[in-house]
Amino acid sequence: MEKNRAVLQGTHFLSGDLACAEGALAAGCEFFGGYPITPATEIAERMASRLPEIGGVYLQMEDEIASLAAVIGASYAGKKAMTATSGPGFSLMQENIGLAIMTETPLVIVNIMRGGPSTGQPTMPSQQDVMQARWGSHGDYEIIALAPSSVQEMFDLTIESFNLAETYRVPVMLLADATIGHMWERVKIPPKEEIHLSWRKKPEVAPDKYKPFKPDENLVPPMACFGEGYRFHATGLTHNEEGAPATVSSEVQDRLVRRLCNKIRRNTKKIMKIEEIMLDDAEIVVLAYGITSRAALSAVRMVRKEGIKAGLLRLVTIWPFPEELVAQIAKKSRAIVVPEMNCGQLVREVERAAKTTPVLLLSKLGEEPHRPSEISSALRKAIK
């Protein structure tokens, strides 16, 4: 029997970066376009070694601008495609993130966040690109971003990122950090047939009837690919359903941009993944994501032993932000503590949703993620 080389089987000891590459292959990714950058390089290295085994393409471009442009091209040529980078490369990608949004290109961008601004601290973790992921490219748009907190999740959420990208025809961001990227843990890979995969919806009409940007009931247009005989045009310019530029029509601009936002906004509940831990009777809540949520869970357990009714809301999906849910939890809580490895980014969203409930930022920069004791002290202070 021919071995399935795309999906490793069984249990493996992997770093987060390697698990991400294996997740991508299990998701059906056949094209990687990237540029080496710490702490994401191991993803590129693994893909360079693994993709030829399955007949895929590893392409190292001259910079991250070109990397994402090539990934968009590969996706339009019909392949599941991805790139992986860190802050400085992510900054360079912002231009073509806009293009991917405007041309509704399914693809995955992995950002193993390191300390910034600028070259910053290449080997040190951060969560400093949370707002750049949301707002980095010009114009109005919505984005999907997932935050893994373990090596297992680097595998699982990379697959999930591809599924979301294909379902909604959007670039999906996997926002990890240097700690998770470089950390080694056990990864259990399920049998191939148990891995759920989504693929872009194909047009069901004849080529002469095909309108490349006419949405279905889910606000997502079925996608033809190059070479399939549909002979369509796509552009970064504002365009109508036929794909023709409409550079001065207010109506087309309004309809297109609102649809691009609404296809994510209206599907927020379907997209959203969160974990609610000990929240039922919680008087005080930690809202955390990524690596920080692990220390947060320990902290919640520590203070529970002391009789403090604490709970954890872990965001797996950070964009779109689960505003309604946070508002509901805030209503029942005395305070929300938000540990972040930045000067306070997602905390702004929490404050907006929490309204009158006090929100306390626990900001940390540099080498070390939050310690459980730092978060537990913040919880004790907050409950007083």
Partner 1 sequence: MKKSNILQNHPFAKYLRQDRMPHIWCEGCGNGILLNSFINALDELSIDLDKVVVVSGIGCIGRAAGYVNVDSFHTTHGRAIAFATGVKLANPELKVVVISGDGDLFAIGGNHFIHAARRNVDIKVICANNFTYGMTGGQYGPTTPLESWTTTTPYGSIEHPFNLVHLAAASGAIYVARWTALQVRRLKNSIKKSLQKEGFSFIEVISPCPTIYDRYNKLGTATDVMRLFKQISQVQHGYDPSKAVITKNQIMVGEFMDIEKPSYGRLLREMTIRVQEKLKGEESK
The binding site for partner 1 (CB under 8 A) comprises 3, 5, 30-31, 33, 52-53, 55, 57, 59, 61-63, 65-67, 69-79, 81, 95-96, 98-99, 103, 226-237, 242, 244-245
Nearer to partner 1 among residue 235 and residue 377 (C-beta): 235
- The CB-of-248 to partner 1 minimum distance in angstroms stands at 12
Total Cβ atoms within 10 A of residue 110: 31
Q: How would you classify the pairing of strands 274-277 and 171-177?
A: unpaired
Nearer to partner 1 among residue 80 and residue 314 (C-beta): 80
- The CB-of-229 to partner 1 minimum distance in angstroms stands at 4
Nearer to partner 1 among residue 99 and residue 308 (C-beta): 99
Nearer to partner 1 among residue 17 and residue 30 (C-beta): 30
Nearer to partner 1 among residue 170 and residue 176 (C-beta): 170
* Chain centre distance of CA 373: 29
**Nearest-angstrom CA–CA distance, 226 and 75:** 9
- The CB-of-5 to partner 1 minimum distance in angstroms stands at 7
Q: Which of 205, 211, 210, 221 is nearest to 242 (CA)?
A: 211
75 phi and psi angles, rounded to 5 deg: -65, -40
**Nearest-angstrom CA–CA distance, 129 and 120:** 13
CB 29 within 8 A of CB 9: no
Count of residues for the chain? Answer: 384
Nearer to partner 1 among residue 233 and residue 258 (C-beta): 233
User: What is the residue whose two structure tokens read 């872009």?
Assistant: 200
- The CB-of-61 to partner 1 minimum distance in angstroms stands at 6
Q: Which amino acid is at 104?
A: E
Q: What is the largest CA-CA distance in the chain?
A: 69
CB 285 within 8 A of CB 312: yes
- The CB-of-78 to partner 1 minimum distance in angstroms stands at 6
The pair of three-digit structure tokens given for residue 173, joined into one six-digit string = 């961001």
- The CB-of-225 to partner 1 minimum distance in angstroms stands at 8
CB 314 within 8 A of CB 275: yes
Total Cβ atoms within 10 A of residue 327: 15
- The CB-of-29 to partner 1 minimum distance in angstroms stands at 11
Nearer to partner 1 among residue 136 and residue 358 (C-beta): 136
The pair of three-digit structure tokens given for residue 279, joined into one six-digit string = 């929240």
- The CB-of-231 to partner 1 minimum distance in angstroms stands at 6
Nearer to partner 1 among residue 79 and residue 314 (C-beta): 79
